[in-house]
Structure 1
Amino acid sequence: MSRPAVVKALWGTAVLILVAGCSSGGTEDRSGTAPPTSSPPSASAPSSASSPASSPASSSVPAGGRATVSGTLTEGLKSPWGLAELPGGDLLVSSRDERTITRVDGRTGAKTSLGEVPGVVPGGEGGLMGLAVRDGWVYAYLTAESDNRIVRMRYGGGDGDRLGAPQPVLTGIPKGVVHNGGRIAFGPDRMLYAGTGETGRTGLAQDRESLGGKILRMTPEGRPAPGNPFAGSVVYSYGHRNVQGIAWDTEGRLWAAEFGQNTWDELNLVEAGKNYGWPEAEGQAGREGFVDPVAQWRTSEASPSGIAYAKGAIWMAGLRGERLWRVPLSGAEQSGNPEAFLTEEYGRLRTVLAGGGGRLWLVTSETDTRGTPGPGDDRILRLEVN
C-alpha cells in the first residue's frame, strides 16, 4: 500500500471498487463470533440499501459532495483513536495503546502532551478510546482491568493545564479482546451517548440487562437519562455487534456505524428502544422486530469507524476499506448512492470529526498493529467540504 509523500487535493465521485484488506488487517474486528443465524441478502440481488459495489455512484457531484484535503494538521501520532474539539478550535486526540491524551493546536498542529490516563489497560482492540468535551470536563471511554468504562477529568484548557484525576462516570461495560465499542459523544439533548460492543459474546447484544452491544444514553454524571426507553437503565438501543461511530444530523436524529461480521457493515438510524438485530440478523435482513440499516457495505469496503455529519451527508471513516464514505441523506433515508473518497490514499481511517464551516478532521490509523505505517503516520488531515 502506497500513500503520497505530500497531501493531494481530491474531489469528485470515486469509482467504487472491491478491494482486499491489508495483509495485517484483513480480518478487522471480525473474530470471536459465530455466524449470524439468518442469511444476509445476496449481493446479486441487493435491496434498496445495497452494497455500493452493486450500486455505482452517480457521475454527477451534488451540492455538498466534494471533499478536498487541504492539508495535514499534524503527524507522528501513535495509535490515535478518539478526537474532540475544544472551545477555540484546538483538538484533543487519544492514543489507544500509549494511554495518553495530546492537545493539538487547531491552526499550527503543534502538539502538547497532557499525560497518561491512569487505569487504562490496553490490549487487543481495547485501550484509551473515545473522547468528548463538555463544561470543563474531558470524558474518555477506556478499557480498565475488569471492564470498559467512561471516566471524566477536569481540564481548564489553557496553556500548561493538565488533566485532573479520572472520576468514574459509568462502569461495568463488558470488555474483551475484540468488539469493545468505544465511541462517545454529547447529543443535542446534552446527554452523553456511548457505543459499545458485545466483546465476541453474541448473546450480550440481545440481553437488555447487559451494557454490551448497545448504544447507551446517560446524564453527564452517568445516570439513566430522562426519557430512556427502559426504566432505570442507560440502554437506549440494543442488538448491536460493535458500534464504532455516532453522530447527529441537523434534525437531531442519531446515526451509528457498526461492524458486521463477514458480509455487511452498517449505517443505522437509531431510535429509542429499537432492536438492531445482532446476532439474529446482519445487514438488511427484512426480519420482523429488527431495524434494517439505511446503508450497508461489503466488509472489504468499510470496517466503519468514526462518523460525522456535514453538508447534508454522513461521512464515515473506513479501516479495512481505507476510504472515506459519503452517504447523502434526505430525511431518514439516502438521497443518493454512497460515494468513496481517498481510497487507499492514506491507509486505514479511524475517526472523522465535523468542525466549523464545513470542515472535517480525519484521523488515520496505520500504527494500531493492523496497518502498514509509513513516514509521518499517523496524522490528522484537514478536509474542506463544499
Structure 2
Amino acid sequence: MGPAANGTPAVRVAAVLGALVLVAGCGGQEGGTGGTEENGGGGYGSGSASATAVDPGEPEVVATGLEVPWGVAFLPDGSALVSQRDLAEIVRVSGDGAVTDVGTVEGVSPVGEGGLMGLALHPDFPDEPYLYAYHTSESDNRISRMEYDPGSGELGEAEVVLDGIPSSSHHDGGRIEFGPDGMLYVGTGDAGRSRLAQNIDSLAGKILRITPEGEPAPGNPFDNRVYSYGHRNVQGLAWDGEENLYATEFGADKLDEINLIEAGNNYGWPEVEGPGGGDEYVDPLVTWSPEEASPSGAAIAGGSLWVAALRGERLWEVPLTEDGLGEPVAHYQEEYGRLRTVATAPGGDGLWLTTSNLDALGNPVAEDDRILRVPLE
C-alpha cells in the first residue's frame, strides 16, 4: 500500500467480530468546527472483496467542468450516469471523457446539502429500465425512478416511489445502492433533528431497505422500511464479497465512522458518538476525527474498502482482512480537494472518484469539478 500522507492519522480500527483494535498517532491538520456534512451504480455496484489489497496508481482525469457530481451509476457499456447536485441534472460520462446531457430530474429543490444526490440502476437493467434518484423536494427528501433508454439517451418522467424522508439544509443523507438481495438500501440523515435517529417510526437517521417499488422489504426488523437506526448522516454504502454491508457516517465535533450494518441494530446517535456506548449500541469499526475525514462515498475493490473524504481531502484505503478491517491508509491528501464519491469501475480494476470543490466549502481550480479514474495496480 502507498504511504500515509503527512504521518499516521488518528484512527480507531476494530475487527468485524470486535476482536481487533488498533490505535495510531496524532491527528489531522485542518481546523474548524463540526456539526454539518461539510465538517465532517447499477445493480449492486460496490464490487466484491479480493484476498489481497492492491496499491492505487496515479489518478487520471476522465471528465472536467462538472458541478458537484454526487451520484454515479455505471451502464452496461462502461459509461456512467452522474448527478449534479445543485443543478438537478444528470449527465452521461463515457470512459473517454465525453459528457452528454441526459436531462433534469423533476421536483428537485436544491438547498444547502440537499439537491439531486444518489443514483442507482435497477439490478435487472436494462430489462427493467429504471434509474433511481434520491433528491430533495420543497417539502422532504424522496426517491424517484425514471425510465432510461441508453440507446436514445432519453430520461422518462419521474415517478415517486418513496417520500416523507425529513429534509433540512444539512444532514440529508442521500446514498442509494441496490444490495446483493435485490433490495434498495437508502442512507438518510437526521435532518438536524437528532432525536429522530432513535425513533424507528421516522425515516430520518436510518438505513432503509425497500423493494424496487418503494415498499418495506420482506424480512425487515421492524415491519417497516427501517433496516438500522441511530445514524447521524449516512453517506456511503458498500458490500464485500461475503455480503457484509459497510456504511460511512459523519460525526459531529468528535468522530466520523465506518460501521458494519446489521438488521435492527442501533448505532447510537445522538446518545453516543463513536465507540463506548455500552451493550445497547453498536460500536463503529473505524473512527476518524472530522478534520481528517468527513467520509462520503464508499466502494469495495482490490481487497479494500475505499472512502472519499470531503473535509479531509483524501482517499482512504481500508484493507479487508480475514479478521475484519485493517489500518486505514490515506492517499492523495490535499491533491484534488474535496472528494465526494468513489465507485468501483466496471471490471473492478479501478475506481471513479468525484471532486466536490464547487460546493459551499470548496476551493475550486479551473477544471473543477472533475471525475478521476484511479487504477488499481
Q: Judge same fold: TM > 0.5, yes or no.
A: yes
How far the C-alpha of 1:65 sits from its partner, in A, is 3.6
- How far apart in 2 are the matches of 1:247 and 1:82? 14
| Runs ≥4 residues deviating over 6 A | none
71, 84, 103: which one pairs with 1:82? 71
Amino acid at match of 2:106: P
Asked if 2 retains the 8 angstrom alpha-carbon contact of 1:78 and 1:98, the reply is yes
How far the C-alpha of 1:291 sits from its partner, in A, is 0.3
List per-residue Cα deviations over 1:178-230 (Å, max 9, x = no partner): 10000000001110000000011010000000000000001100011111111
Distance change in 2, residues 1:126/1:317 (3 Å): same
Distance change in 2, residues 1:133/1:30 (3 Å): closer
How far the C-alpha of 1:22 sits from its partner, in A, is 7.6
How far the C-alpha of 1:71 sits from its partner, in A, is 1.2
Asked if 2 retains the 8 angstrom alpha-carbon contact of 1:64 and 1:385, the reply is no
SS of the residue corresponding to residue 113 of structure 2 reads: coil
213, 218, 231: which one pairs with 2:205? 213
Asked if 2 retains the 8 angstrom alpha-carbon contact of 1:255 and 1:268, the reply is yes
82, 85, 89: which one pairs with 1:93? 82
Partner of 2:269: 278
Asked if 1 retains the 8 angstrom alpha-carbon contact of 2:61 and 2:371, the reply is yes
Asked if 1 retains the 8 angstrom alpha-carbon contact of 2:119 and 2:134, the reply is yes
- How far apart in 1 are the matches of 2:278 and 2:351? 36
- How far apart in 1 are the matches of 2:113 and 2:245? 25
Amino acid at match of 1:245: G
Partner of 2:133: 140
SS of the residue corresponding to residue 357 of structure 1 reads: coil
Partner of 2:107: 119
* Residue ranges of structure 2 left out of the alignment (5+ in a row): 10-26, 40-50
Partner of 1:228: 220
Say yes or no: does 1:312 pair with 2:279: no
Distance change in 2, residues 1:31/1:247 (3 Å): closer
- How far apart in 1 are the matches of 2:250 and 2:141? 18
How far the C-alpha of 1:12 sits from its partner, in A, is 4.1
Asked if 2 retains the 8 angstrom alpha-carbon contact of 1:28 and 1:303, the reply is no
Say yes or no: does 1:238 pair with 2:225: no
Asked if 1 retains the 8 angstrom alpha-carbon contact of 2:37 and 2:113, the reply is no
Partner of 1:373: 364
Asked if 1 retains the 8 angstrom alpha-carbon contact of 2:314 and 2:330, the reply is yes
333, 340, 352: which one pairs with 2:342? 352
Partner of 2:331: 341
- How far apart in 1 are the matches of 2:31 and 2:93? 29
Task: Name the % identity.
Answer: 54
Aligned residue pairs total: 342
How far the C-alpha of 1:161 sits from its partner, in A, is 2.1
Partner of 2:45: none
- How far apart in 1 are the matches of 2:70 and 2:200? 28
Asked if 1 retains the 8 angstrom alpha-carbon contact of 2:249 and 2:257, the reply is yes
Question: RMSD across aligned C-alpha pairs, in angstroms?
Answer: 1.9
Asked if 2 retains the 8 angstrom alpha-carbon contact of 1:28 and 1:320, the reply is no
Amino acid at match of 1:196: T
Distance change in 2, residues 1:190/1:332 (3 Å): farther
- How far apart in 2 are the matches of 1:375 and 1:271? 43
Partner of 1:257: 248
167, 170, 184: which one pairs with 1:178? 170
SS of the residue corresponding to residue 162 of structure 2 reads: strand
- How far apart in 1 are the matches of 2:338 and 2:188? 21
TM-score by length of 1: 0.85
Asked if 2 retains the 8 angstrom alpha-carbon contact of 1:22 and 1:320, the reply is no
Asked if 1 retains the 8 angstrom alpha-carbon contact of 2:53 and 2:320, the reply is no
How far the C-alpha of 1:313 sits from its partner, in A, is 1.4
Distance change in 2, residues 1:332/1:83 (3 Å): farther
Asked if 2 retains the 8 angstrom alpha-carbon contact of 1:154 and 1:164, the reply is yes
How far the C-alpha of 1:20 sits from its partner, in A, is 3.8
Amino acid at match of 2:170: V
- How far apart in 2 are the matches of 1:30 and 1:73? 26
